[in-house]
Amino acid sequence: MNKVSIIIPVYNTEQFIEQCVLSIQKQTYKNTEIVLVDDGSDYSCKKVLDRLSEINQHIVLVTLKQNYGPGFARNKGIEHASGNYIYFMDSDDYIPEQTIEMLMCEIKEFPMIRGRLNRTYLTSRDAIIIDGSNQVKMFTDRKFSIARHSTAVNLLIRKDFILQHNLHFDENNRVYSDLSFLIQALVEVDQVPYLKEALYFKRLRNDPITSPSLTQEESAMRILDYLSIYIALRGDSSYEDAYEFLDNHLLNFYRADIVMYLKNENQIDLIFDAVSKTLAMVHPEVLRNTSIIAKREISALIRGDLKKFKKLNRKHHFLREAKWGASSKRRFAYFVHNRIFSLLPLKKKQIFIESFLGKSYSDSPKYIYEYMQEHYPEYEFVWCFDEKREIPGNAKQVVRFSIPYFYHLARSKYWINNSRMPNLLNKRKGNVYLQTWHGTPLKRLVFDMDDVHSANPKYKKHFYEQSRRWDYLSSPNGYSTDIFKRAFLFDKEMLEYGYPRNDLLVNNNTPAEVDTVKRKLGIPEDKKVVLYAPTWRDDEFFSRGKYKFTLQLDLDALQQRLGDEYVVLLRTHYFIANALDISGYEGFVYDFSSYDDIAELYLVSDILITDYSSVFFDYANLERPILFFTYDIEKYRDQLRGFYIDMEEELPGPLLYTSDEVIDAIENIDEVQEEYKEKYEEFYERFCDWEDGQASRKTVEHVFGKNK
Ligand code: C2G
């Protein structure tokens, strides 16, 4: 039986390599050998490789003394391979069970065969059924397009063919070494079979900031690497057949990568000469097919006319942005913000303020605003909402994403926000951004998360870009400070004064205030109040930003057993798009999901039920009982997020899994409180200690105080 050697260069991918190897062990094609080439990895990765090769006798571990790059490592792998077929993988990828068998079955008399690449952000995926036809497509005229993605992964190739033609990976090139191997191989054949059912999962790292893959590295190095491989291949007459493919490949690279890189004008000097020299090699016929814009730039580049190129580059980026801006109303507004409104002078006493994406008048921004209304009347405020609403004070209001919204964003010196701003907004020089954030973290945040299960896989990258604009960040306790620094990679000023939003809970916790708020909310003053405030689930959504929630509390049972003594307030997270059906429970259940400020709901509630929401950290300031309805804790903890604290050990109340358990706990709330007394005290000390009712004042003084 034919043996397949799977060659995998490894460099510090201890996070991913086990899964890669496991996916090979699970192959239905059994006669395989795994050649792991350790390309000078650090100790922690070496340890993983040693362990893997100890337990799996099909692993051949080749250790290189230093980091030579994937080209050298793949060549070394071929030298050590004992199989008569070679298959290439990257150490952070994985394959479905049948990939190798399918390729082996279809390679027949051909020297090589290619499967399909499927890019994914997830750690594991099941094979996707494509159409099940298992039909091989033959690439003849367009055979070079097999090299289009510049990668040799998911290529199965006969070893004697490699040796016969002395095929090798470029050893001097870090990112594009595969391209040379592929072109050498492809010029030797007339046709290449391609099987789209043979899948390969190529991991797009969801964290291109702290753990980028080679192609995610945004640097001049990557571009220069590409140019050098093009020059080497294009200058060698043995690859004449590939010239047209290479020229087009370069032009695509120019449009997609070089143009983007040169958006930052300061980078032009770094690569100008190399780009100029490379483009001069392209056949004029191929150049003729490019757009007028590209043609002009390329012509200046080829002539080496740096001054002209800079001028064109600036103009063309403006035109590209304008064209982009013309494609929708929203984009037009961004364009006008970044290119026009941002040229108008900053208003030094104007504050642009928003809470929860404009969905409410609430949270720390509200309390900062109200404090400043009273003590800093010289400041003007622009509040952003999704629709116009009644609020105290004399703030202007703008509707999110309207033209006035963009206008005031650009002109306000200060921004105050508790969540995220749109990614495409440029922060202008002189802008000061106070980020108050919105909760002590329980669920792992951004760079502490492994997989991203929410609707936006680019979450980490976007988050990083956005958080670079923050100048100040509010922290509610020392525990949060540590996490924020690490998980947000935040290194500017941390405001360690507690949360402005919790001032209310410290200052207004009196029976008279509670009754006033109850009357305002329209709930009976003679009943006790249970507040149920769950969080959202990353994997349950309709579309991006629109999450769904299914109520698991049995309202019937609640009403039967508690209806005489209690009323229930329901409050879903602001990401939740669906409304809960509470018809039939009038006078017992109240839906306050769209009520502005949850702090007022805390104030009137005798008991809080929640799950993995940060609401309990705030509620604990009231020192009232908290129950945790954690019916899906395993999924939430193990698959979706992971927690920073041990829920079983450290929470100030019991974990409950059914409606009956929740009702039992409410009926026996005094005993529950007694049982959790000590834990509650420890919890309070750890998370609520900074809250002294003065957080708004201290925060404002820090950012706007007289010495600023
Ligand atoms: N919130 C609310 N109603 C809910 C849940 C939350 O009003 N049913 C508000 C609370 O102010 C809460 C904040 O939204 O503190 C954040 O909600 P979480 O459920 O904790 O979830 P998330 O928005 O993912 O933020 O560091 C904090 C984390 O990032 C959590």
pLDDT digits (tens, 9 = 90+) for 120-157: 776 666 666 666 677 899 999 899 999 999 999 999 99
534: CA distance to ligand 1 center in Å?
9
589-591 sheet: strands from edge to edge:
589-591, 566-570, 528-532, 607-610, 626-629, 655-656
Q: Is the CB of 531 under 6 A from ligand 1?
A: no
Q: For a pocket test of ligand 1, which of 438, 467, 490 has the largest count of ligand atoms closer than 8 A to its C-beta?
A: 438
Confidence at residue 119, expressed as pLDDT on a 0 to 100 scale: 84
Of all protein residues, whose CA lies closest to atom 4 belonging to ligand 1? 573
Confidence at residue 460, expressed as pLDDT on a 0 to 100 scale: 84
Q: Is the CB of 474 under 6 A from ligand 1?
A: no
Confidence at residue 546, expressed as pLDDT on a 0 to 100 scale: 84
483: CA distance to ligand 1 center in Å?
16
Of all protein residues, whose CA lies closest to atom 12 belonging to ligand 1? 615
Q: Is the CB of 439 under 6 A from ligand 1?
A: yes
Tens digit of each residue's pLDDT (9 = 90 or more) over 333-359? 999 999 999 999 999 999 999 999 999
**Domains defined along the chain, listed by start:** 4-206 (3.90.550.10), 222-327 (no CATH), 337-498 (3.40.50.11820), 502-687 (3.40.50.12580)
Q: Write down the pTM of the prediction.
A: 0.80
Confidence at residue 111, expressed as pLDDT on a 0 to 100 scale: 98
Q: For a pocket test of ligand 1, which of 483, 532, 535, 643 has the largest count of ligand atoms closer than 8 A to its C-beta?
A: 535
Confidence at residue 219, expressed as pLDDT on a 0 to 100 scale: 80
572: CA distance to ligand 1 center in Å?
10
615: CA distance to ligand 1 center in Å?
6
CA dihedral 197, 200, 206, 212 (to 10 degrees): -150
Confidence at residue 538, expressed as pLDDT on a 0 to 100 scale: 79
Residues 6+ apart with CB under 8 A from 91: 8, 9, 10, 11, 13, 16, 17, 20, 36
Residues 6+ apart with CB under 8 A from 380: 347, 349, 350, 351, 395, 396
Euclidean distance between CA atoms 319 and 313, whole angstroms: 10
Q: Point out the residues of the chain with pLDDT beneath 50.
A: none
393: CA distance to ligand 1 center in Å?
26
